[in-house]
Amino acid sequence: MADSPWAPLLLDPARADPELAASRLEQAWGQQRLVALAGPGQQGELAQALEGAPGETEALARFGPGVVVGSGGSAGGRHWCLQPLTHLQASAEASAAWLVALGLEPAACLHLDPLPLHHVSGLLPLVRARHWGGEWRWLAPSLLRRPADLAQACPLPRDRPVLLSLVPTQLAWLLASPEGTAWLAGCTVIWVGGAGLPAPLAAAARRAGLPLAPCYGATETAAMVCALPPQRFLAGTAGCGEPLADVELRLDGATGAVEVRCGRLSPGRLVAGRLQPLPLQPGGWWRSGDAGRLGSGGLEVLGRLDGALLSGGETVFPERLEERLQEQAAHAGAGLEALLLLARPDPQWGEHLVALVRPRQAADGSALLGVLQALTATWPPAERPRHWHLCPSLVPTAAGKWERGRWQSWLDSLEAI
């Protein structure tokens, strides 16, 4: 496949200067090339997905320039999705219409991007800015860990709107310091996605008056499909907002899975060099792996269906319980830094929950576990963790997602001792 003139260009943005990687990406698109974007440690896996049957690369050429980018990986394995540039641009047009409805001119905006280009959430700020005629500026993620240096390294203009895309982990870094909070206050719209927004973070952002816009999307949908306007967020509305203008949303009646229909769904996933079309429901609906509900705030994501567990006949979404416990721990002043709830087999209940806990630096781990157990003592039995483990290495990915399979393995090794 690599010998074909239509073969995708394999690009590793994590190993290159981000601005240089963006330049190479745009140059390849100008040459009508398809570009495969690999993250750290993904080069071999991506190469296997690209290698395959003769003639398939020529078939991919009918989609024009675009990207092959990873989706998932937290559970159920990673998929390598094809997204034509026309789909990415359609996504940019939909987000532009959303901004116009807020009274903003997209072409006048500065779009800051601290997310990796090999994630669709980091790729779209570049595509949006170029498609709108605005300005895209790379923001080194390491700066978000040093809020005291951020204002000097990246001063925000006062004469035009500033857009920022973050994952909740990055938001937490900035909100932890007065300097980071003050810098965020200079932004016009702060899109927060990639993972659920914990209630304590949302509350802290509201207290600071920050213009957060919680949003939801996927690689398969060319990023954002709904977003909550900052004014509604600050008024206390929960959820991810209403669908963008080019998107339809619904819920599967049996599972509650979020289903999406739009013109920018991925044409398919590459497996051993062959394009396998997305599995669609009748009528062209794509079923995500997330459970949700539709309310006054639009879409509210309950959690991953592949992470849900059945305990005593009850369906439990660990992400929702993590948010609840984090909020209660914050109110109690407990030194909780990170929390992950995992399912374990149970002969009586089917499954039960186990908690992995990382205390804040200098916090007493044993005392923290005692506080958390007291907070959950009155929870329903299906929602109450049965076992608690201190896990000093517990951290999400750079994109703010939990690699649940990795931490399940960590728990397996711990319980095997």
Same domain, yes or no: 95 and 75:
no
In sequence order, which residues have a C-beta less than 8 Å from that of residue 236 and are 6 or more positions away? 206
CATH of the domain at 408: 3.30.300.30
Tell me how many degrees the CA angle 165-106-158 measures, rounded to the nearest 5: 75
Same domain, yes or no: 147 and 259:
yes
In sequence order, which residues have a C-beta less than 8 Å from that of residue 282 and are 6 or more positions away? none
pLDDT in tens, 268-305: 999 888 899 999 999 999 999 899 999 888 999 988 88
Same domain, yes or no: 298 and 336:
no
The pTM assigned to this predicted structure is 0.82
Pairing assessment for the beta strands 110-113 and 66-72 based on DSSP bridges: unpaired
Which residues form the domain of 357?
Answer: 308-416
Same domain, yes or no: 124 and 231:
yes
In sequence order, which residues have a C-beta less than 8 Å from that of residue 164 and are 6 or more positions away? 111, 112, 114, 184, 187, 189, 190, 191
Nearest to 375 by CA among 392, 362, 363, 388: 388
Same domain, yes or no: 124 and 165:
yes
Same domain, yes or no: 407 and 332:
yes
Mean pLDDT of 37-56: 77
Q: Is residue 367 part of a domain?
A: yes
- Residue 76: what pLDDT? 47
Same domain, yes or no: 129 and 193:
yes
Same domain, yes or no: 137 and 223:
yes
Q: Is residue 4 part of a domain?
A: no
- Residue 73: what pLDDT? 43
- Residue 74: what pLDDT? 38
What 8-state DSSP symbol labels residue 241?
A: B
Same domain, yes or no: 135 and 233:
yes
pLDDT in tens, 96-113: 999 999 999 999 999 999
Higher-pLDDT residue of 17 and 89 is: 89
CATH of the domain at 109: 3.40.50.12780
- Residue 54: what pLDDT? 53
- Total count of domains within the chain: 3
Cα–Cα distance between 92 and 126 in angstroms, integer? Answer: 10
Least confident of 12-21, 129-138, 219-228: 12-21
